[in-house]
Amino acid sequence: MKTRGLVLEALGVVKVATAAQLRDLTCPGTAGVETVRNGCKDLELSGLVVSAGTTSRLESGGRRVTEKLWSLTPAGLEAASHALERPLKEMGGTARAAAASGAKHALRVTDTLAAFVQQPIEPTAGPVAARSSAPPPQRVPLRGRPPGLGPLAAWSTEVTLPTGGTFTTPAKGSLRADAVYALPGEAVPLLFVEVDNGTETRAEVADKLVRYAKFFARTEKPRPDQGDRKPRRLWRTVWTAPENEPGWGQPDSQPHPPVAIVFTKNMGPEAMEACLRGIADLSAPVWRGTWNGLPGKDGDKDGYRTFGDAIPVVVCRLDRLQAEGPHGPIWWRYGRQRGGESLVAALDDANRPDSLAAYQAREKERRREREQREAAEKVAAERARAASCWACPSCGRAVYPDKWGRVRGSVCSKCEWAAQAAEHQAQEEAEKAAEQAEYERQRRADGWLGWLPGRH
């Protein structure tokens, strides 16, 4: 009964899957897929699940194996909506047509979700064979899994993102997100996922990101009861994400949710690198932001980027996602140096070297270095000035070189001013004495008439 409920919930999320995939999503600790396959058959008898197609895969030994594809019936879709506590209108379709054609892309989406969720492996009992005396199969020691990103119930697939029109009647050119993860309150509260099987060109993948930007930029239609309140972004009417935390709406951060692209096609390292960088170059206007260059006081140039309409885009390979989980160092954030980061670190705007905060930190460091340099230069100048002084020959006071050409051995400015004042006074007294002597000479030359008033 528990297996049937898990299968129903899993198919409500992924829409179409093989028994092996359902086992990986719900109960990877089982010895084999028979438990899940029997659960699917029970649900089929109840009219909730149907096998509408098959797919094939190659095992490690080269043997081709054909597997049934399981999907929900309309009744199963309704039952899954109750199990997942979602409105039926948000459950999407049954994907029966996709299953009939092999559902290659849908299966890769299911593999990607299993890699994101990393359902913990717990010991479970295998199926009991009736009337069998054979010993039970040897249980293989369970291998631990890396931490996953939320429970399966936090995920949705084939989510309509209308670039025009409404969610129920989207305009032509709208897109469907392969998967959306939403779990408010977590380190990554919202994530849109695109699964690339290598069937689309780089330009087509880049165009999807352009349409994501167009959808994220849409706002809800204003209502009369809103008053002066600014209309919300349309995506915020469906999903909850913080508005006052880095990366979710601050002036220096990304107001748009992040988009993750998972590449599932096996290709060589050089081909994969060319693919990743090609998409990055073609979609640069979506994630790059606007550069604000500022001249530094020391002649250096620096600046920061603003990301008013930019989308954080992270990319990785499916094989690494499966092996290391979403929190492993597997992500490349477009706009940063190529290298592996965990999902949380890749989406953390504080790690951006081109952010305003990073620029302010660099400017603070430059200011600190400049102040240290100026302080050292001041100390050196004081030491040089102290080493160049001499004692005034007149009063013994310390004398320093100055811009007027004072040389070693000369008197201090105070003594110099005193000598100049004494010289000036002596000159005035000499001039007065000369005038008085001339007056006396003239008076004697005039005789008794020299005493008359006004004579001299």
Long-range contacts of 141-145 (CB under 8 A, 24+ apart): 142/29, 145/28, 145/118, 145/119, 145/120, 145/121, 145/325
Calculate the CA 131 to chain-centre distance: 59
Give the pair of three-digit tokens for residue 214: 């167009």
- Higher pLDDT residue, 303 or 446? 303
- Residue 128: predicted pLDDT: 44
Return the SS3 of 273.
helix
Return d(Cα 165, Cα 282) in angstroms, integer.
27
- The pLDDT tens digits for 358-384 are 888 888 998 999 999 999 999 998 888
- The pLDDT tens digits for 287-301 are 988 888 877 666 667
Return d(Cα 202, Cα 276) in angstroms, integer.
9
- Residue 31: predicted pLDDT: 62
- Residue 306: predicted pLDDT: 79
Return d(Cα 309, Cα 257) in angstroms, integer.
11
Q: Which of 145, 179, 149, 148 is nearest to 28 (CA)?
A: 145
- The pLDDT tens digits for 13-24 are 888 898 889 998
The 3-class SS string of 13-60 reads: HHCEECHHHHHHHHCCCCCCCHHHHHHHHHHHHCCCEEEEEEEEEECC
Does the structure show a pLDDT above 80 at 266? yes
**Element spanning 414, H or E:** helix 413-445
Give the pair of three-digit tokens for residue 410: 């000369």
- The pLDDT tens digits for 24-38 are 888 887 667 888 888
Position 286, amino acid: V
pLDDT band at 190 (very low <50, low <70, confident <90, very high): very high
Give the pair of three-digit tokens for residue 78: 């309704």
- Higher pLDDT residue, 10 or 127? 10
- Residue 403: predicted pLDDT: 65
- Higher pLDDT residue, 97 or 416? 416
- The pLDDT tens digits for 75-93 are 988 898 888 888 877 777 7
Which residues does residue 17 pair with via DSSP β-bridges, in sequence order? 70
- The pLDDT tens digits for 229-242 are 678 889 998 998 77
The vertex-32 CA angle with 31 and 38, nearest 5°, equals 120
pLDDT band at 312 (very low <50, low <70, confident <90, very high): very high
189 neighbors 182 (Cβ within 8 angstroms): yes
Position 230, amino acid: K
Return d(Cα 352, Cα 326) in angstroms, integer.
20
Return d(Cα 128, Cα 41) in angstroms, integer.
16
The region of weakest confidence among 56-60, 164-168, 264-268, 376-380 is 56-60
- Residue 143: predicted pLDDT: 55
- Residue 140: predicted pLDDT: 42
Position 94, amino acid: T
Question: Which DSSP symbol is given to 397?
Answer: -
The count of other CB atoms within 10 Å of the CB of residue 231 is 14
Return d(Cα 194, Cα 291) in angstroms, integer.
28
**Element spanning 261, H or E:** strand 259-263
Return the SS3 of 324.
helix
- Residue 447: predicted pLDDT: 66
- The pLDDT tens digits for 424-450 are 888 888 888 888 888 888 877 776 666
User: What value does the mean pLDDT take over residues 115-122?
Assistant: 87
**Element spanning 128, H or E:** none
Percent of the chain with pLDDT over 90: 32
The region of weakest confidence among 42-51, 62-71, 219-228, 391-400 is 219-228
What's the whole-number average pLDDT of the chain? 83
- Residue 356: predicted pLDDT: 82
The region of weakest confidence among 37-41, 120-124, 416-420 is 120-124
User: What value does the mean pLDDT take over residues 158-186?
Assistant: 92
- Residue 206: predicted pLDDT: 96
